[in-house]
Structure 1
């Protein structure tokens, strides 16, 4: 949640050095080395569409069979395999695991999506099943909500743990188990299974026709880092407009997509706060080819930075502000610094609703006299006195590298802006 603060008095809180993802939280690429997960829940039906996705740097897709894994492997991708672990140690789960566990493209086992949310807070408990007389029963912590959720937790969580134990028993490659939750899933309930999984995280889709609260993603990463107590956090981000989801979720909504710059902010705020993987949900509902291309432009950009995203070399630098103090709401300016071989990457993310025109990064003595190239921009900076000074618009991302070669060649989709995002041009590619 955003907190009113005077910027200078909270300066030290405005600068977070995110930890490099532990190598165990990454996935193994086709060549055996670690890669940062850039995934989609969607597995395109057509091979040409799957190849386009792979060409955009996507390296992870959701699969449901050995045949799906074969298709993923054919384009150099890895697979996330969902299992109904909440059903317990069933013969069906055992058989499914046995059928696919030796496939080289299998990277991660996925547990039931938003499992805690489904029996505590899900709107369908009121709108569909009528278990809750009122929609806000859970938030008011009524006896009805507590009795129902505790009963369901007593049924579901033990079976969930049994299902996870089957994976541990049968998978001799010790692949990680990941469970995605809703951003506000109950922390106490989640702790009942957290020790038994390897990767946690949440989904958050903040852009709609009513508001565009991008820093909800920032808040989501921070919340699930705390809940996970050191577990890697994967963030599931928005690749759809709410009205595309049908009457239940999107009834009465106007077509509204994230712009490219908004999607870019959501990805980088996840990364600088320590997210160990990013996946996109909802693209199978997409009716806009332009929106799809904007996400592919972003995954292409992130894929080009793979050497830095998996690097554990974190040069120590200092961030300061050379400007008049401002009262604002937000997380300040975040700085992500990585080194890969002789090359450096510096990412600056302004998570405030105000501009910052004097962002000083010092401690760059090793780069003295060298140029930091702004990838996808013209604001190149020369390191002088071990320092650079950058300017950032509200919610702006700037990416600098000692080499311009880390810029993706893909340009289509980067100009997806307000007109397209609001109107949602209908031009599906699939």
Structure 2
């Protein structure tokens, strides 16, 4: 806690939120050119004219100490008031000022200052009237020492609303066990709540990280149960620092939010705006600010995909060599040496790099089966003194019954064979998991996520195997609880479980903590949990899923050293979802896929989670209602589901997961039928999805609204074409090597003349083209095996129990 200035007789402090008045004890310390100064309802009141100065003297200010001052004033509309605090010792002036134009209402002013030079005489604070006249009231004045530069004053609200300017729709409330918090409530859409902090001292051109706790109160957000807000620094002109006024979101649980920004030139203090956008009820707590420098390693060994997966090669995905690159901070180092040694320490390869090296890549021989070798990267100064050494073990893993690895393009390999994940978030909650396995498999799904991170989930792999499905097991993700002995026992328990089941034929991969950056999880906890999984089982990847929030640097920080595959869940139908305020349409799926690719630097697989529910059908009071009884219900259509799947794929996703039909056991048949058609199409297209991408295809389309991917499968080109605009596009394609192209799920083909053709693509439409014969819809969608979602399940059907 920051302590209050204790030696000021002429200043009243704000130790409690309730203090809102000016004390009569120091009325005599004020002067205004002989004009009478009165006290009224705890406020200082005087009638002033242009040029008048209302002076408080003396102030006991210490040199080198940081202070923040707060004043609440009310003046006749249109008065130009210049408030400054200053000191003059032996002709050396030190001062700080703020300016305000009064509007007739109460206004809150803040001033942050530090007088570094020696102070021998008393300081004073002055309200000078530059223009206008009338009555002015000083309703409160306070000053406070700041423990150190750069920290929030009352960032935890233990002093209530002191040192904050609480504007519209904002108040301080008691949140029970969480203590006092700042709360912003806006009932209507697009209305705003605003609060401003006291000034915070900063250094120009430095980077800072702000962090705070936030939660939305359930029942007050939008259709997606989401609350939107912004927290951003204001410069000396009360404008947001460029690039900081971005929109973030939260839901019902407390989360830790943090982000970085740079201070502009000649900016030495900032205030923070806290702004929520209706409909919302948002609570904030524990604001803090620190100078931040993103760690830059002196040297790093970066393995290329797929060798960065568990740092080696596998029997089912063999390679005689391992490739990668080095990253060296040549601002510190003059040169670097990369060496490869066998397990006995015998050097077998080396390469030297310098700041002049244009090629920082390497290619080294892989170890023999079952062996390891060690890469060592050593940096030197100009005198060839060693600065740093980093090492990385390279493995050639012994064969395992089940090996899930990756190709160099991120395609999954299941025992060496290409595999495209089409998975679902466990069962449908209708009451019979075994039935649901068959139900999902018939619809083209090939895997299910076994959630709840309990040991009991591992035996459910037997159920998945029995029904021809693969299982994704959610792992425990926090081993820091309890005593060191309890932590070690918990790690051993989970390590033993993982080793016991690592050869299970139905085990596909592991699932880590869901949406960790959005929830504010500590990175070290995640890295520790990842190490438990990879040390116990090198043959199955760990998948990390994030919320569609945050910026790429933060996503990268969370993706590094915590997972083997990465992705984001994005659900844009029926309610705005995600932090991309500029795009809340279906094309946000592709944009978030791009952000995932950037977060992993296109060096790890990306699996995306897509929408299989209606926002209005996931609330506690609507889940057990038929869809036609739920107001405002919107499920994705067939066209929307199809576009979102292909939008993810053409932007680089190599697996698709759906969340979550089981929100309601009354999911309508029309939605299930349309989703099933999409997943059956994905199943049919999986061999094409997992074939090689043609990165420089002959066929071109100059229209930037068209995004397409060319795949080469069994000697043919397959064109996966999407229209990323909300309007029909007449797209012209050129340099097409085929003379005729068929269209999946359409009867008419396209004749190509001199390499060119034109095609109408509907808004957010998908066209799959190739010169082969595609199956007809009746064959692809298998109507003879279709089972409605509303059909009774054989056992424990909750829908009938509730009637």
Aligned to 1:377: 746
Secondary structure of 2:705's aligned partner: strand
CA distance in 2, matches of 1:23, 1:225: 14
Aligned to 2:525: 159
Which of the numbers 684, 698, 702 marks the counterpart of 1:317?
Answer: 698
**Unmatched 5+ stretches in structure 2:** 1-405, 452-456, 481-486, 578-583, 794-803
Which of the numbers 646, 649, 654 marks the counterpart of 1:268?
Answer: 646
Aligned to 2:705: 332
Aligned to 2:590: 218
Which of the numbers 46, 58, 62 marks the counterpart of 2:449?
Answer: 62
Q: CA deviation at 1:348?
A: 1.3
CA distance in 1, matches of 2:680, 2:776: 9
Q: Does 1:38 align with 2:422?
A: yes
Which of the numbers 688, 700, 703 marks the counterpart of 1:308?
Answer: 688
CA distance in 2, matches of 1:24, 1:355: 32
CA distance in 1, matches of 2:762, 2:555: 37
CA distance in 2, matches of 1:232, 1:429: 38
Secondary structure of 1:84's aligned partner: coil
Residue deviations 1:216-271 (CA, integer Å, cap 9, x gap) = 21221122211221222111000011122114999996211000100111001111
Question: Contact (CA 8 Å) 2:593, 2:652: kept in 1 or not?
Answer: yes
Considering fraction of residues, name the structure with more strand.
2
CA distance in 2, matches of 1:210, 1:200: 23
Higher relative contact order (CA 8 A, sep 6+): 1
RMSD of aligned C-alpha atoms?
A: 2.9
Which of the numbers 227, 234, 238 marks the counterpart of 2:611?
Answer: 238
Secondary structure of 1:316's aligned partner: coil
Considering fraction of residues, name the structure with more helix.
1
Q: CA deviation at 1:342?
A: 2.9
CA distance in 1, matches of 2:719, 2:654: 18
**Unmatched 5+ stretches in structure 1:** 1-20, 120-152, 323-330, 414-424
Which of the numbers 69, 72, 81 marks the counterpart of 2:473?
Answer: 81
CA distance in 2, matches of 1:205, 1:428: 27
Residue deviations 1:10-36 (CA, integer Å, cap 9, x gap) = xxxxxxxxxxx945744445x851111
CA distance in 2, matches of 1:41, 1:24: 26
CA distance in 2, matches of 1:40, 1:94: 26
Q: Does 1:352 align with 2:725?
A: yes
CA distance in 2, matches of 1:248, 1:215: 31
Residue deviations 1:186-243 (CA, integer Å, cap 9, x gap) = 5444433422221111001111167972112122112221122122211100001112
Q: CA deviation at 1:316?
A: 1.0
Q: Does 1:392 align with 2:770?
A: no
Aligned to 2:659: 281
Residue deviations 1:364-401 (CA, integer Å, cap 9, x gap) = 32x23xx3111112341123322332111211111122
Secondary structure of 1:335's aligned partner: strand
Secondary structure of 1:179's aligned partner: strand
Question: Contact (CA 8 Å) 1:66, 1:103: kept in 2 or not?
Answer: no
Question: Contact (CA 8 Å) 1:114, 1:185: kept in 2 or not?
Answer: no
Which of the numbers 492, 495, 501 marks the counterpart of 1:94?
Answer: 495
Aligned to 1:168: 534
Q: CA deviation at 1:53?
A: 1.4
CA distance in 2, matches of 1:345, 1:188: 35
Q: CA deviation at 1:291?
A: 1.3
Residue deviations 1:65-111 (CA, integer Å, cap 9, x gap) = 33321222233322211112233563342233133222122121111
Give TM-score scaled by structure 2 length. Answer: 0.41
Give TM-score scaled by structure 1 length. Answer: 0.73
Moved more, 62-71 or 76-85: 62-71
Q: CA deviation at 1:403?
A: 2.1
Which of the numbers 525, 543, 557 marks the counterpart of 1:192?
Answer: 557
Aligned to 1:177: 542
Residue deviations 1:247-306 (CA, integer Å, cap 9, x gap) = 499999621100010011100111111112110001112421321221111010011111
Q: Does 1:203 align with 2:604?
A: no
CA distance in 2, matches of 1:282, 1:201: 16
Question: Contact (CA 8 Å) 2:411, 2:418: kept in 1 or not?
Answer: yes
CA distance in 2, matches of 1:96, 1:290: 41
Q: How many residues align structurally?
A: 350
CA distance in 1, matches of 2:770, 2:466: 32
Which of the numbers 511, 514, 521 marks the counterpart of 1:113?
Answer: 514
Q: CA deviation at 1:179?
A: 0.6
CA distance in 2, matches of 1:259, 1:390: 23
Aligned to 2:796: none
Q: CA deviation at 1:171?
A: 0.5
Secondary structure of 1:304's aligned partner: helix
Change (3 A) 1:215 1:428: farther
CA distance in 2, matches of 1:186, 1:274: 19
Change (3 A) 1:428 1:255: farther
